[in-house]
Amino acid sequence: MAGRLRRLLVYSGVSGLDLDPLASRLARELGAGHAKYEAIVEERMKAPIYHVAELLLANYHGVAEELRRAFWDMVEEASREEDAIVTMHLVYYRRHNPIMNPALVELHRLAARGVEVSIVDMVDDYYHIVYRIAERVARGETPGVTGFQVLDPASLVSWRSAHNSASQLLLMHGVKVYSYALKHTWTGHMRLASMLLGRTPEGGGRYDTVYISHPISKVRARAAAEGAELWSYPDAVEIEEFKRMLEEQCPRLVVLSPTSVDELIPGDGALATRIGRENRWPHPGNGVHEFPYPVDLAAKPPAELIYPASDTVANPGYMKMLRALVEASIERRDLSYVAQADYIVAYRPSMYGERHYGVDMEVNKAVNMGKPVYSVVPPGEEPGYRLFTFMYMLRSPEELIRALRCP
């Protein structure tokens, strides 16, 4: 039934990511087939996907067969080419219940038939996810999606974690899995998709994944102490310029950036409820989505349209809980980036002459996994202590480019 299909690349994640424009553009530019699983389910079931999720709650085994058949319909539709890029949820969320997609087992079966199956578990900042969901509801595109439940930030972060767990389960069954954030560059999205579809990078060779570990919290704290906007703060901008330069000069690199998701934004209380460019780490536009600012989580919308503000973002106890969820997701995602990287670059790990806990943890994790670690320490930033036991220390980005043998 898989036809001529050799490779299937699945983009997955929670609602509000709006992944189909990304997947369809990638498919078009890479000459791959394309299909949207949930659209096929809705046509087969004659019901919107959020109602299908409710039917799974009512009778999982009875509805599961229809969703499994929809999976093979999707495979057939996408099999016009040897490679295909599709979108599908691995986990649904309805009435506060995460619900595993019955088609998960079909991904395993497809891989067992010799098709190379890869999953990109996509993530984005929860406030932009909330914004997109609210916009869709306001436009009347999904008027019933919030019936019998709320889609508040904490629910979305928990749903996102369930998605990641489901993808990791498939990793144990012959499926390649990568976590990746929507706010990476378009170049990064193209390279990741090209790598997973077996394409050759510009200049030949093969693609490598590299995780950039760098100071974040202390840069944010310094900007705040100076009353400066983080978006244009020189140290943050310089770090992002380093990532841009590395990506531009090394066409075989897929760069993994920790700041492509930035949710631990302080405000009144535990977390900010109004996020603007001024307090968000700078990120590139990627040509797939616009990322509007500011986003006010307590404003109408999104509040009162997809969740009640008084019980959620306007409640100090709720925001403390949300902070704990976000902190846990940061550690999990960044360590996932380390695990899926071929090597690590620690950029200015002794910035301000201080130790940076996150960088130390990530480098130690990489070393324990036997991954090469390059450390860029500019002159004048040498610490008075041994940075890391195992690393290759360089003095400049130019030295790094030469060490990586970029063309």
Residues 302 and 131 sit within 8 Å (Cβ to Cβ) = yes
pLDDT class of 298 with cuts at 50, 70, 90:
very high
What average pLDDT does the segment 374-401 reach?
Answer: 81
Q: How far apart are CA 192 and CA 209, in angstroms?
A: 9
CA distance 313 to 320: 10
pLDDT of res. 91? 97
The encoded tokens of residue 178 equal 């990568």
Q: Quick: pLDDT tens for 243-290.
A: 999 999 999 999 999 999 999 998 877 899 999 999 999 998 877 888
Task: Name the band, by pLDDT with cuts 50, 70 and 90, for residue 335.
Answer: confident
Q: Cα(78)–Cα(62) distance, rounded to whole angstroms? A: 26
In the chain, count of helices (H) and strands (E)?
Answer: 13, 14
Predicted pLDDT at 388: 63
Average pLDDT score over residue span 85-106: 95
DSSP state of 240: H
DSSP-assigned letter for residue 382: -
Query: What average pLDDT does the segment 143-160 reach?
Result: 87
Q: Give the pLDDT confidence score for residue 161 in this predicted structure.
A: 94
Q: Name the pTM for this structure.
A: 0.95
Report whether pLDDT(222) > 70: yes
Residues 6+ apart with CB under 8 A from 340: 177, 178, 179, 209, 256
Of the two residues 117 and 382, the one the predictor is more confident about is: 117
Q: What is the pLDDT of residues 127-144, one digit of tens each?
A: 999 999 999 998 888 877
Q: Is the pLDDT of residue 1 over 60?
A: no
Query: What is the spatial distance between Cα 100 and Cα 89, in angstroms, rounded to a whole number?
Result: 9
Q: Please give the pLDDT value at position 31.
A: 95
Give the DSSP per-residue string, 55-115. HHHH-HHHHHHHHHHHHHHHHHHHTTSSEEEEE--SEEEETTEEEE-TTHHHHHHHHHTT-
Q: Is the dihedral of CA 62, 66, 68, 69 positive or negative?
A: positive
Task: Give the whole-angstrom CA distance, residue 97 versus residue 91.
Answer: 10
**pLDDT, position 2:** 53
172-203: pLDDT as tens digits: 778 999 999 999 999 999 999 999 999 999 88
Task: Read off the amino acid at residue 83.
Answer: D
Range of weakest confidence among 119-128, 137-146, 175-184, 294-303: 137-146
Greater model confidence, 198 or 385 = 198
Q: How far apart are the first and last CA of the chain?
A: 43
Contacts 24+ apart (CB under 8 A), 140-149: 142/48, 142/50, 144/48, 144/50, 144/51, 145/15, 145/48, 145/50, 145/306, 146/305, 146/306, 146/307, 147/50, 148/54, 148/94, 148/95, 149/93, 149/94, 149/95, 149/96
- Strand, coil or helix: 393: strand
Helix H, strand E, coil C: the string for 296-341 is: ECCCCCCECCCECHHHCCCCHHHHHHHHHHHHHHHHHHHHHHHHHC
**What is the C-alpha R_g of the chain?**
22
Residue range 79-99: mean pLDDT, rounded = 93
Contact (CB, 8 A) for 343 and 374: yes
Q: Say what the pLDDT of residue 385 is.
A: 60
pLDDT number for residue 99:
96
The 10s digit of each residue's pLDDT in 14-41 is 999 999 999 999 999 999 999 999 999 9
157: helix, strand or coil = helix
The pLDDT assigned to 407 comes to 74
**Cβ neighbourhood burial of 313 (10 Å; 0-12, 13-18, 19+):** buried
pLDDT of residue 332: 86
* pLDDT score, position 143: 77
State residue 128's pLDDT score. 96
The answer to whether residue 204 scores a pLDDT higher than 90 is no
List Cβ<8 Å contacts ≥24 apart for 303-309.
305/134, 305/137, 305/138, 305/146, 306/130, 306/133, 306/134, 306/137, 306/145, 306/146, 306/150, 306/151, 306/152, 307/146, 307/150, 307/151, 307/152, 308/150
Q: Report pLDDT for 325.
A: 94
* pLDDT over threshold 80, residue 156: yes
- Phi, psi torsion values for 361, nearest 5 degrees: -65, -45
Residue 132 near residue 306 (C-beta atoms within 8 A) = no
- For the chain, what is the mean pLDDT? 92
Peptide bond into 301 cis (omega under 30): yes
